[in-house]
Amino acid sequence: MLSNPIGKTKPQKAAAHAQAPAQAQARAAGSKVKALRNHTVLSRIGSKSRWIGLIYRIFVYVILIDLAFVFLYPFIYMMTTSLKQPVDLMNFTIKWIPTSLAWENFYYGMKGLQFLTHFNNSALIAVLSVVGQVLSCSFIAYGFARIKFPGREVLFVLCMFTMIIPPQTIIVPLFMQYKTMGWLDSVLPLIVPSFFGNGLRGALFIFIFRQLFRGLPWELEDAARVDGCGSFRVYWKIIMPLTPPAIVVTTLLSLVWHWNDFFEPSIYLTSEEKFTLPMMLPRLYQSLDTLTGSTFEVFSLPVVMAATFFALFPMLLVYLFLQRYFIQGVERSGLVE
Amino acid sequence: MRGQKMSLERKKMMAGYVYIAPWAIGFALFMLYPLVYSLWLSFHEVAGVGNFELTSVGWGNFNKAFVLDTKFIPLFISVIQDAVINTPLILVFSLFISILLNHNIRGRAFFRAAFFLPVLIGSGLAMQQLLYAGVGKDTLVNGIGVPDEVFLYMGPTFSQIVFDMLSRLTVIFWKTGVQILLFLAGLQGISVSLYESARCDGATEWEMFWKITLPLMTPIILLNLVYTCVDSFTDINNRMMVYIKDTAFTNIEMGYASSMGWIYFLFIFLLLVLVFVSTRRLIIYTGEK
């Protein structure tokens, strides 16, 4: 019985005590008992750590769900509030679920934004900027990542340096410059810099592409070159198809940032019919008043929320489709070496 | 000396310049020229937007910013204060969430998607509308489910402080989307074998965090630190940015706005240089020998 202490349990331990008459035996048994005790302590810790593990997991879920709620709150709030009637808004017993759904808020929200016109403006600016940034930033990054030439490092540092220049530092000369060029009140100042790798946070996208390009094997490129491929074809036919992660990341971030950008459009665009969708939000009441021909105090928070929803809706839709690729993309884009 | 090989090398070099050309042109047109011109403007006064008549005022604009303008310095300090308080919070919080998300948990895709959502609202006008509506104020209180009784018990002054802190935290939380993703990418990049061998040596989770995770994350922490700084300084809701814009386009004091822009830019530049210099020894790169 004592010969194999491993795996024994408490009653057997008691038995070990009883079956030790001689001192030597007792000592031997004592050490075995110690071993046994150690073992049981260990297994107890083992089961304890399983408990701790379980509690820890529950803790992780509770925190994540709680925080996810905090992060989703603006959307939940936007959605529920946009469906409320003014009466429900005043009613403190109603927190989330309105007594009756006020779909007309969405109608007014859309009308107030003049959704179609301004959606088209926003889409034109955002989509062209994104195309410009993906093309130009990947092209430039290819040069920085894959071709050695004198002054490359210096130029790259200079390029990264542009990231920290606040837009307000150069806005005045840019405004004057565009004025002399006759670009004011057109979409050109918002789109053209993107095609030169200089749009909104262009340096960041050059950085992302460069990181990914640097990690690609050189053999691919060498093989293509031996087969007589020029460097432009290598970039377009071999490197670009290998970089969907960076393309997705750049596309989504660039789209969202251009879409939400308010600073530059509000300076360069002056006539209302050229405004982007977010620019219409502060003008909502004014716009509704002129449309309906009277002052509407009735259009309160729910209508504003409905309009805000419409201003964000296209981005939500795009994110819904790109979300999976986007998060994988960030993980694989070699952003982090 | 004009052998075949030389010209091939040279050809390749030229190709490099061709790739950089769009950026160089864009940089000269939309960055370098405006930057130099704004420096020039900052020493002048612009009379009239129509014909841009410049009169030199020497250091007058800078003098005005630091000595005469009663708004500039307090605004500047409050902006710096915000950045100093918010940046560490954003970093710690996003690292915390990304470690939680890196667990093998159910619904990971949902959580990752959820934590990035506020980035979609951005810091733009949509967010402003939501903040006007008071969304920021009670979110966290509702989120962690603090019962009203607790606030009642704390008394009005103290509960107000806690309430303000929580609402401030909420808005900070919403700025962490990009950082969480970057940290997640970094965490995925740490080799599992490191943790396995540490576990064999009897390391606890706690020790592994301090000895493995944190040191290996230092490059991403630096990246996030720089990103967070730049993001907070160029945020549209940043009061400094609003002030400069108003000075330039509402008060039409373009020279003065330029000089404020330059003060602001130099400050950010020095701050980042300081960050890089002070963290140089702390950053651990695994890729380099």
Residue A40 has pLDDT above 60, yes or no: no
- Res B157: pLDDT: 76
- Res A10: pLDDT: 43
In this prediction, residue A335 has a pLDDT band, given cuts at 50, 70 and 90, of low
Residue A221 has pLDDT above 50, yes or no: yes
pLDDT tens-digit series, residues B134-156: 665 555 555 555 556 666 676 67
Q: How many CB pairs under 8 A join A and B?
A: 273
Nearest-Cα distance to chain A for B267, in Å, is 11
Residue A153 has pLDDT above 80, yes or no: yes
- Res B145: pLDDT: 54
In this structure, the number of other CB atoms found within 10 A of the CB of residue B271 comes to: 16
Nearest-Cα distance to chain B for A286, in Å, is 16
Distance CA B228, CA B108 (A): 25
Least confident of A75-89, B149-163, B238-252: B149-163
Residue A152 has pLDDT above 80, yes or no: yes
Q: Is B56 helix (H, G, I), strand (E, B) or coil?
A: strand
pLDDT tens-digit series, residues B205-227: 888 888 888 888 888 898 889 88
- Res A3: pLDDT: 42
**Which residue matches tokens 């940034």?**
A133
Question: CA of B239: which chain A residue's CA is closest?
Answer: A168
**Stated pTM of the model:** 0.82
Do A170 and B41 count as a contact with CB atoms less than 8 A apart?
A: no
Q: Measured at the alpha carbon of residue B59, what is the angle toward residues B56 and B62, in degrees to the nearest 5?
A: 120
Question: B interface mutation test: which of A48, A62, A67, A270 has the most B CBs within 10 A?
Answer: A67
Give me the phi and psi of A186, to 5 degrees please. -135, 170
Selection from A306, A331, A329 nearest residue A112 by Cα: A306
Chain A residues with CB under 8 Å of B127 CB are 74
pLDDT tens-digit series, residues A201-214: 899 899 889 988 88
Cβ distance B256 to B67 under 8 Å? no
Residue A42 has pLDDT above 50, yes or no: no
Highest mean pLDDT among A288-302, B23-37, B53-67: B23-37
Least confident of A4-8, A118-122, A148-152, B90-94: A4-8
Under 8 Å CB-to-CB from B152, ≥6 apart: which residues? Answer: B159
pLDDT tens-digit series, residues A129-139: 999 999 999 99
pLDDT tens-digit series, residues B161-191: 777 777 778 878 888 888 998 888 888 888 8
Average pLDDT over every residue of A239-254 = 88
In this prediction, residue A30 has a pLDDT band, given cuts at 50, 70 and 90, of low
Cβ density class A131-165: b for 16+ within 10 Å, e for less: ebbbebbbbbbbbbbbbebeebeebbebbeebbbb
- Res A132: pLDDT: 95
Under 8 Å CB-to-CB from A254, ≥6 apart: which residues? Answer: A129, A130, A133, A134, A199, A200, A201, A205
Distance CA B196, CA B204 (A): 11
Do B230 and A279 count as a contact with CB atoms less than 8 A apart?
A: no
Under 8 Å CB-to-CB from B39, ≥6 apart: which residues? Answer: B258, B262
Interchain CB contact of B267 with A (< 8 Å): no
Distance CA B214, CA B212 (A): 6
Interchain CB contact of B206 with A (< 8 Å): no
For B46, the enclosing helix (H) or strand (E) is: strand B44-47
In this prediction, residue A192 has a pLDDT band, given cuts at 50, 70 and 90, of very high
CA B184 remoteness from chain centre: 18
Q: Read off the DSSP letter of residue A283.
A: G
In this prediction, residue A142 has a pLDDT band, given cuts at 50, 70 and 90, of very high
Distance CA A281, CA B224 (A): 31
Distance CA A186, CA A167 (A): 19
Selection from B43, B33, B26 nearest residue B263 by Cα: B43
- Res A154: pLDDT: 93
For B54, the enclosing helix (H) or strand (E) is: strand B53-56
Whether ipTM tops 0.90, in short, is: no
Nearest-Cα distance to chain B for A16, in Å, is 32
**Which residue matches tokens 């716009």?**
A287
Selection from A288, A292, A270 nearest residue A279 by Cα: A270
Average pLDDT over every residue of B279-289 = 68
Distance CA A12, CA B112 (A): 52
Under 8 Å CB-to-CB from A250, ≥6 apart: which residues? Answer: A130, A133, A134, A137, A138, A205, A208, A209
Name which residue leads in pLDDT, A215 or A235.
A235
What is the number of H-type helices and E-type strands within chain A? Answer: 15, 0
Nearest-Cα distance to chain B for A75, in Å, is 9
**Which two three-digit tokens encode residue B246?**
């108003």
Pairing of strands B44-47, B53-56: antiparallel
- Res A324: pLDDT: 81
Residue A326 has pLDDT above 70, yes or no: yes
- Res A188: pLDDT: 92
Do B261 and A166 count as a contact with CB atoms less than 8 A apart?
A: yes
